[in-house]
Amino acid sequence: MKERFQNFRQSLKRRLPFITIGVLVLLFLFVYMYNRIIVTIGSGEGGVLYLRFFGGTVIDRVYPEGIHAIFPWDTLYIYNVRVQQVSHEFDVLTHNGLKVNLLISIRYYPEYDLLGVLHKKVGPEYVHTVVIPEIEQVLRVLIGRLSAEEVYTTKQSIIQKSLSEAIEQIAQRFVTVDDVLIKRMRLPSAIENAIQDKLSQKHRADAYKYRLEKEKQEAERKRIEASGLKDYNKIVDMSLSNPVLQWMAIKASLELSKSQNTKVVVVGSGKGGLPIFGSLLLDAPWDGAEYHDVAGLTDTKLMSMPEDDTEPVSKPEDGEGSDTEKKE
């Protein structure tokens, strides 16, 4: 047993330089190929392994976040699986051949579970291979069916149509399009100014029609109001009789007598002897249609008229006079 151990030690001593050289070589190779052996997958990423000698792309497994060790002759491709954004600018032609400049923004992300198939079928440059060309083609077809004015006024509908059609086409390429935004749609300045002027004139015409309709409705309202006032006056005219007016005059006289202010009352000389308000004699005959200025007063001020029991003297006719006049 001791002999075997001594033989092993002697053999190890003889081979120690070769073993040391071998370990150093392996250590050097490990340090040199560290980046190909140890792969770190960051947050929001996924890995697809390519086996050089054992079947190529692994499509049934996606490597998650973290540190992974692989053989140096294999390759681990890393994909960003977060929602990403890419801008793209291009020119399209309308139905009548007018050139329109578009600047679009596309939000997308790859299907995590299908990263292996995406890598094998499309590749890492899938954005420029599938996403942008598909969206651009859909917009070219849609805008090619529209005129310049329709393109200028229907941006939102174009976005919706392009998004729905692009999602269906790009979904077959293992990529999901979250949204398509048109940041800028630029027409030639002359065409754009002409369209804006046309739209402005159209809105002015619509505003003028609205004003005409409003005036018609206002005229109809005034006709209805006038008809109502006419009916109201007829009803009031039928209800105001002479006894009612006398009752209202008595009530007004009572209210006037309660006032603490100084007042002058002009009393009429009719049967009722009621006060005179303005130019209206309250005990004057009522004809049911008009107010007569019986007292001949047009001023609204009240005047004091003394009562006189003497009979009024009739005016002498032409050629005749009183005794007093003859004496003079």
The tens digit of pLDDT for each residue in 193-204 reads 666 677 777 777
pLDDT above 90: residue 21: no
Last-in-domain residue among 80, 113, 130: 80
Does 182 lie in the same domain as 89?
yes
Looking at residue 1, its pLDDT comes to 67
State which amino acid sits at residue 175. Answer: V
Task: Please tell me the predicted confidence (pLDDT) of residue 81.
Answer: 93
224 falls within a domain:
yes
> Same structural domain for residues 273 and 229?
no
Structure tokens at 176: 């999901």
Q: What is the pLDDT of residues 137-160, one digit of tens each?
A: 888 888 888 877 777 676 666 666
Are both 35 and 111 inside the same structural domain?
A: no
297 and 249 belong to one structural domain: yes
Same domain, 76 and 88: no
Phi, psi (rounded to 5 degrees) for 318: -60, 135
Taking 70 as the threshold, does the pLDDT of residue 296 lie above it?
no
**Average pLDDT of the residues in 265-278:** 56
The reply to whether 234 and 247 lie within a common domain is: no
Residue 126 is predicted with a pLDDT of 92
To the nearest 10°, the Cα dihedral for 53, 57, 58, 62? 130
Q: Which residue has the higher pLDDT, 43 or 3?
A: 43
Could you tell me if 108 and 176 are in contact, meaning their C-beta atoms sit under 8 angstroms apart? yes
Predicted pLDDT at 63: 94
**3-class SS of residue 189:** helix
State how far the Cα of 185 lies from the Cα of 166, in Å rounded to an integer.
Answer: 19
Residues 91 and 181 in one domain: yes
Residue 251 in domain: yes
Based on the fold, state whether residues 271 and 228 are members of the same structural domain.
no
Tell me which of 11-25, 138-152, 182-196, 206-220 is least confident.
182-196
Number of independent structural domains in the chain: 4
76: three-class secondary structure by DSSP: strand
CATH of the domain at 123: 3.30.479.30
Alpha-carbon span 263 to 258, nearest angstrom: 11
Report if residue 17 sits inside a domain. no
Do 205 and 283 lie in one domain? The reply is: no
Domain membership of residue 7 (yes or no) is: no
Mean pLDDT of the chain: 75
Which residue, chain included where needed, has tokens 């229907």? 154
325 within some domain: no
Residue 121 lies in a domain: yes
Q: What is residue 155's predicted lDDT score, i.e. its pLDDT?
A: 61
pLDDT of residue 268: 57
Q: Give me the amino acid identity at 106.
A: I
pLDDT digits (tens, 9 = 90+) for 55-79: 899 999 999 999 998 888 899 999 9
Owning domain of residue 44: 22-80
Q: Are 117 and 148 members of one domain?
A: yes
pLDDT at res. 66:
92
Q: What is the pLDDT of residue 6?
A: 75
Is 300 a member of any domain? yes
Structure confidence by residue, pLDDT tens digits, 237-250: 777 667 777 777 77
DSSP 3-state of 279: coil
What's the pLDDT score for residue 234?
Answer: 80
C-beta separation of 175 from 215 below 8 A: no
Q: Note whether 178 and 125 are same-domain residues.
A: yes
User: How many Å apart are CA 166 and CA 172, to the nearest integer?
Assistant: 10
* Phi, psi for residue 217 in degrees, rounded to 5: -65, -40
For the cut 90, the answer to whether the pLDDT of residue 109 exceeds it is yes
Structure token pair of residue 284? 């004057």
| Any domain includes 266 | yes
Is beta strand 175-186 parallel, antiparallel or unpaired with respect to 276-277? unpaired
Same domain, 91 and 75: no
Out of 4-13, 205-214, 237-246, the most confident range is 205-214
